[in-house]
Amino acid sequence: MPRVLLIEDDPSVREGVELGLRRRGHEVRTAATGEAGLAALAEFQPDLLLLDLMLPGVNGVEVCRRVREDSQLPIIMLTARGDDFDVVIGLEAGADDYIVKPARTEVIEARIRAVLRRMEAPGGQRPAVEQHGGLTLDRAGLTVTKDGLRLDLAPSELRLLLHLSAAPEQVFSRQQLLEHVWEHSYHGDARLVDACVRRLRNKIEDVPGTPRYIQTLRGFGYRFGPL
């Protein structure tokens, strides 16, 4: 069962979520501040970070940014719907998904599982290692290299890239991507997709302004290639 680090300043939310997740078999460590959370990170070695955005001191967005500096740890933000600005900032800072509070434990756990789920191995004929231009995708090892250099991709970025490249030149609507990559309902928040595409382009494109791998089809969605 995954190890989850929860950084949340409100004691009742912290305890409630901890209790709920622990009952479902997760190993949970909690921290009340960003500093304490960052400290616990190295020692606890979690599989996933549940992060409240509104924290005293070092806030959630800052924590997210610091974690992303040297780690591709999956991060799910805990937010209040309507705090739109924070959501966008958090996604830009590298969060993989977000959960709107208040949420039932089953919802939190479903999101955790979706983020942690390993991409299925490609069906049949396709070799595990693919070459697309300068990109080398290893579907089994879940690594991406560009011109021989290994790229550090956050889980959501990796899943998005693998999903798009599994069907090159096929257009996926943002709602479809939300459903397949994030396992959200069909009516999810498309900003999740846009922010992830933006982050991914910054890492894989030669010129992020004129994307070659992940192309936009205005009004329809995104597609991989043609190269």
Spell out the residues 6+ positions from residue 175 whose beta carbon is closer than 8 angstroms to its own.
Answer: 186, 187, 188, 190
Selected from 124, 186, 207, 226, the binder of other proteins by CB under 8 A is 186
Site string for other proteins, 58-87 (x = CB under 8 A): ----------------------xxx-x---
DSSP 26-68: -EEEEESSHHHHHHHHHHH--SEEEEES--SSS-HHHHHHHHH
Peptide bond into 2 cis (omega under 30): no
Site string for other proteins, 130-169 (x = CB under 8 A): ----------------------------------------
Rounded to a whole number of angstroms, the minimum distance from the CB of residue 44 to other proteins is: 20
Rounded to a whole number of angstroms, the minimum distance from the CB of residue 203 to other proteins is: 14
- Residue 225 in the binding site for other proteins (CB under 8 A): no
Question: In this structure, are strands 143-146 and 48-52 parallel, antiparallel, or unpaired?
Answer: unpaired
- Beta carbons of 9 and 56 less than 8 angstroms apart: yes
φ/ψ of 11, rounded to 5, equals -60, -40
- Residue 106 in the binding site for other proteins (CB under 8 A): yes
Contact footprint for other proteins (CB under 8 A): 10-17, 19-20, 23, 80-82, 84, 101-106, 108, 173-175, 185-191, 194, 197-198, 201, 209-211, 216, 218-220, 222
